[in-house]
Amino acid sequence: MSAHATLEVRLEDRSYPIHIGPGLLGRGDLVSAHLPQKKAVIVTNSTVAPLYLDAFRESLARAGVGNEVVILPDGEDHKDWQTLNRIFDALLARNAERKTALIALGGGVIGDMTGFAAATYQRGVPFVQIPTTLLSQVDSSVGGKTAINHPLGKNMIGAFYQPRVVIADTDTLKTLPARELSAGLAEVIKYGLIGDAPFFEWLEANIDRLLAGEASALTYAIEQSCRNKAVVVAADEREQGVRAHLNFGHTFGHAIEAGLGFGVWLHGEAVAAGMAIAARVSRRMGLVDDQLVKRTLSLLERAQLPVRGPALGAGRYLQLMGHDKKVEGGRTRFVLLRGLGEAFVTADVPQETLQLVLEGEGVDAA
């Protein structure tokens, strides 16, 4: 038995625990406790399977959970209907029933697709998430967002669907490429910026321990990130209000991902640049001072993240944001800062401010 942290996400009858710490892939009992039937189909990808699948299956088997496997190709390119349908094909070919659980073992793409499959197979079957990247551990673990991409937009088809339990094993981060660890840290830093100044300060002091993969630091950072997200999600499960804060950096970030083609930049990298843009917009509007922008850029840079978007041109940025889900009544709503740990939503951003900041992306230096 390993020591680990447990966080309860409170959503009335859809509440569930997140277990965080090293060695948890060996704890099939933590999964088993939440299954209505001791049967599961594990969905993973061709990168994660060779690393963790066998050990996890054995741990499930020890806990009495019969399991089968669907292995999908790796990558955001495959977050589409065709790949999702391979899950449905496998479930139907095996006569999977309504109480058979779907377990996502992998990063955000596997989690999003498996979650959407679980939300929609026979109109909903039990879902378990085993995120194996930092980004998915701090982002997809809380919130119940599932989706696939459409050729005309990222995450455009999906559902809100909560897992029965989430297991974040920090050991899986040992095999994560450095670039992906950094991309995950972008979302970690976001939680500090939008709502938790003390956590932002802890990150300023401990970013090097996280980059070095220290289990105790990672466990703390994941727990604080999930806790911050859980508070917001519990207040606004279906994204009608305050939950929009979680999209800090994402409106610009999605434009970057779409503009370059999905997969060129990692999601976390685009969000990092998007947060830097949002910070610059906030400063230009006189909402925050230079010092906060500097601290933000400095922490992102120490985490090996970009603090500039690519030079798409302001017009293209604005056009790409027209497809963003955060659009209402034809106007784009932005999440900005009015202080460290103080995000807010506004549609009142002067066009010339946007133009000025976005025209500078990829060009000027500060």
Binding site for a copy of itself (CB under 8 A): 37, 81, 85, 88-89, 92-93, 95, 97-99, 116, 119-124, 145-147, 150, 152-153, 156-160, 238-239, 322-323, 325, 327-330
**Residue in 99, 109, 107, 89 with CA at minimum distance from that of residue 37:** 99
Residue of 180, 187, 257, 361 with catalytic role: 187
Q: What are phi and psi of 14, to 5 degrees?
A: -110, 20
Q: Is 280 a catalytic residue?
A: no
Nearer to a copy of itself, 115 or 306 (CB): 115
Residue 21 makes CB contacts below 8 A (sequence gap 6+) with 2, 3, 4, 5, 168, 169, 170, 215, 219
Q: What is the largest CA-CA distance in the chain?
A: 62
- Name the active-site residue from 12, 123, 238, 328: 123
Burial class of 196 by CB neighbour count within 10 A (0 to 12, 13 to 18, 19+): buried
Cα 44 → chain centroid: 17
Of 10 and 98, which has the nearer Cβ to a copy of itself? Answer: 98
Backbone angles phi, psi at 272, to 5 degrees: -60, -50
User: Of these residues, 27, 78, 79, 145, which one is catalytic?
Assistant: 145
Q: Active-site residue 257, yes or no?
A: no
Instruction: Residue 26: count other Cβ atoms within 10 Å of its Cβ.
Output: 17
Residue 120 or 296 with smaller CB distance to a copy of itself: 120
CB closer to a copy of itself out of 121 and 200: 121
For the bound state, the minimum distance from the C-beta of residue 34 to a copy of itself, rounded and expressed in Å, comes to 17
Active site residue 187: yes
Please say if 254 is a catalytic residue: yes
Copy the structure tokens of residue 103: 């377990």
Active site residue 14: no
120 or 251, CB closer to a copy of itself? 120
Find the catalytic residue in 67, 149, 228, 247: 247
Instruction: Please give the torsion angle defined by the CA atoms of residues 139, 262, 102 and 59, in that order, rounded to the nearest 10 degrees.
Output: -70
Query: Does residue 239 carry a catalytic annotation?
Result: yes
Whether 267 sits among the annotated catalytic residues: the reply is yes
CA distance linking residue 10 with residue 201, whole number of Å:
27
**Least Cβ distance, residue 346 to a copy of itself (angstroms):** 18
Other CB atoms within 10 Å distance of the CB of residue 2 = 13
Contact between residue 159 and residue 120 where contact means Cβ atoms under 8 Å apart: yes
Question: Rounded to the nearest whole angstrom, what is the least distance from the CB of residue 157 to a copy of itself in the complex?
Answer: 5
Q: Give least dist CB 16 to a copy of itself, A.
A: 16
Minimum separation from the CB atom of position 144 to a copy of itself (A): 9
* CB closer to a copy of itself, 235 vs 311: 235
Cα(290)–Cα(296) distance, integer angstroms: 10
Specify whether 250 is catalytic: yes
Query: Is 145 part of the annotated catalytic residue set?
Result: yes
Whether residue 19 lies in the annotated active site: no
- Mind telling me the catalytic residues? 123, 145, 187, 229, 239, 243, 247, 250, 254, 267
